[in-house]
Amino acid sequence: MATVFTDNLPQPNSSSPGTDERLARLGVDLSKYPAVYERQTYEPIVSRTNREIHWPILRGFSAQLLKQVPDPVMLTHIVTTRCNYSCGFCSFADTLNAKTNELSLEEIEKTYATIGKNLNVIVYSGGETTLNRNLPEIIEAAYRLTPVKSVYIISNAWKPDLLLQITHRIKQRCPDLHLTWSLSIEGPKPVNNATRYTKANTWDAWQNTVDTLEGLKAIRERFGYRELDVQLCTVCSPGNVDVLDDWYAMVRDELQPDKWNLNLMRRSVQMSDHQLASFDARRASRQLEPFEEKYLQITQQVRNDVLSGRLKFLYHTNNPQDGALKSAVDLISQEENRRTVLEEPLQFCCRAGGFGAYIGSEGEVSGCEEFAHSPEANKSFGNLRDVGYDFQTLWHGHKAEQYRQQVGSAQECRGCTLESQRNYPSILLSFKTLLKARQLARQIH
Ligand code: SF4
């Protein structure tokens, strides 16, 4: 690996009129980050794997018809539950930094080698994903050992240059991989920095996230990276409900990420940390919390703005139709969550434990995070360390069968709005919603 200086390339953002003024308004100074201007070079991994989504979808449909258990199409992989921030709305708020016996790279490689031939999407989550120093190697292992096409990395973007360096490496080592960074940000600077509970008052979490957003856009342009996206993710919670209208306008008109995710605060966090009435109690009294009302309103506005072209919501895929399809899936997922909040009939059943899989930081396998971390009964399918890292042994084991029967109807499922674990695998593996996504995709430009 060698450091290459690329001074003959265009200056970041110089091709976009008005960008310098916009960066100045946002307080972004990209000159602080060497990785915007130079990169190490890496040898690409040679791979002839077919990564098209069509095959997993076809195999998924055929498994449904034959009533077989499919290999997972989508995996949520928690690579650490350590974090350097301490946000009250985090799914792992109660157990953050408690577990440190994370799967090693070698253990993960053995697991990926047995995960099957259907895997198309991996969401890397935490904790703070970049605190696992093997994160690039883990992604490369997935690229070598599985047919994964799309990788999402959720990060608090605490260290912009580190995220840029990881991007340089992944984009060169895994040339066919679609990489999307999902960067957390909870609202305007004062709200974000108060909400994220970083240790030092002087730590500007908001600026780090915005710098990372702009740095990623800059290196995409400067180094010609294809299939690279950067999203901003905001959790809709009681802590930011009052600023969300203005925040959405700022995201859409000023920050302009490739996509903005508005996620409802997780059910488990609502129950444990905010003294809210339970989902059942709220629905029984027909009361929506203000943050639920705001979610309904803003996600509907997002949909209108995407379809009218006012909000950019298009992934950078090789084929524009694929990007539009991904965006349509996001819109359908938000629609499903609105139905969940309003208790309207849902559009599809949960496929967690079939098309969707979950691996915890210490090797627990489950259908989803709610099953793996349920305080009432741990519904994990077992631990990879107990079966020689053979994913299939757990996936087809007795416990998996037992808990698969409860998917969608267990206590944990009431009010579930898990996008990557409940909604996305189900949308892609249902004729009705896949058709709907394709129709919607034609309206997205
Ligand atoms: S509905 Fe939600 S909690 Fe229930 S199995 Fe599916 S993803 Fe898990």
Tens of pLDDT, residue by residue over 10-28, are: 555 545 656 889 999 999 9
Q: How confident is the model at residue 7 (pLDDT cuts 50, 70, 90)?
A: very low
Q: Is the CB of 368 under 6 A from ligand 1?
A: yes
Q: Is the CB of 74 under 6 A from ligand 1?
A: no
Q: Which residue matches tokens 């059910």?
A: 267
Pick the atom of ligand 1 nearest to 369's CA: 8
* pLDDT tens string 368-416: 998 988 767 789 999 999 999 999 999 999 999 999 999 999 988 988 9
Distance, C-alpha 173 to centroid of its chain: 21
Rounded-to-integer distance, Cα 133 and Cα 139, Å: 12
Q: Is the CB of 424 under 6 A from ligand 1?
A: no
Whether 269 shows a pLDDT value over 80: the answer reads no
Whole-number Å distance, alpha carbon 412 to ligand 1 midpoint, is 7
Residue to substitute in 371, 378, 380 for testing ligand 1 pocket (most ligand atoms within 8 angstroms of CB): 371
Rounded-to-integer distance, Cα 205 and Cα 261, Å: 18
Name the residue with the closest Cα to ligand 1, atom 8.
368
The secondary structure of residue 406, as a DSSP letter, is: T
Pick the atom of ligand 1 nearest to 353's CA: 5
Question: Whole-model pTM?
Answer: 0.94
Whole-number Å distance, alpha carbon 441 to ligand 1 midpoint, is 26
What pLDDT sits at residue 166?
Answer: 98
Residue to substitute in 125, 263, 420, 422 for testing ligand 1 pocket (most ligand atoms within 8 angstroms of CB): 422
Whole-number Å distance, alpha carbon 316 to ligand 1 midpoint, is 30
Rounded-to-integer distance, Cα 379 and Cα 374, Å: 7
Q: Is the CB of 371 under 6 A from ligand 1?
A: yes
What pLDDT sits at residue 322?
Answer: 84
The share of the chain scoring above pLDDT 70, in percent, equals: 92
Q: Which residue matches tokens 């690409």?
A: 44
List the single range of 39-48, 88-97, 395-404 with lowest mean pLDDT.
Answer: 88-97
Q: What's the chain's average pLDDT? A: 90
Rounded-to-integer distance, Cα 264 and Cα 286, Å: 18
* pLDDT tens string 332-381: 999 999 999 999 999 999 999 999 999 999 999 999 998 988 767 789 99
Q: Is the CB of 356 under 6 A from ligand 1?
A: no
Residue of 154, 319, 335 lying closest to 232 (CA atoms): 154
Rounded-to-integer distance, Cα 183 and Cα 222, Å: 21
Pick the atom of ligand 1 nearest to 421's CA: 7
Whole-number Å distance, alpha carbon 340 to ligand 1 midpoint, is 12
Strands ordered across the beta sheet of 74-78 = 259-264, 228-236, 178-184, 150-155, 121-125, 74-78, 356-359, 364-366, 382-383
Whole-number Å distance, alpha carbon 67 to ligand 1 midpoint, is 20
Name the residue with the closest Cα to ligand 1, atom 3.
413
Pick the atom of ligand 1 nearest to 413's CA: 4
Answer positive or negative: Cα dihedral of 93, 122, 405, 362.
negative
Rounded mean pLDDT of 45-58?
92
Whole-number Å distance, alpha carbon 271 to ligand 1 midpoint, is 16
* pLDDT tens string 105-163: 999 999 999 999 999 999 999 889 999 999 999 999 999 999 999 999 999 999 999 99
Residue of 393, 349, 346, 353 lying closest to 370 (CA atoms): 353
Residue to substitute in 370, 405, 406 for testing ligand 1 pocket (most ligand atoms within 8 angstroms of CB): 370
Give the CA radius of gyration of the chain: 21
Helical spans, DSSP H, in 160-251:
160-173, 189-195, 205-223, 244-250
Q: Is the CB of 418 under 6 A from ligand 1?
A: yes
Pick the atom of ligand 1 nearest to 416's CA: 2
Name the residue with the closest Cα to ligand 1, atom 5.
407
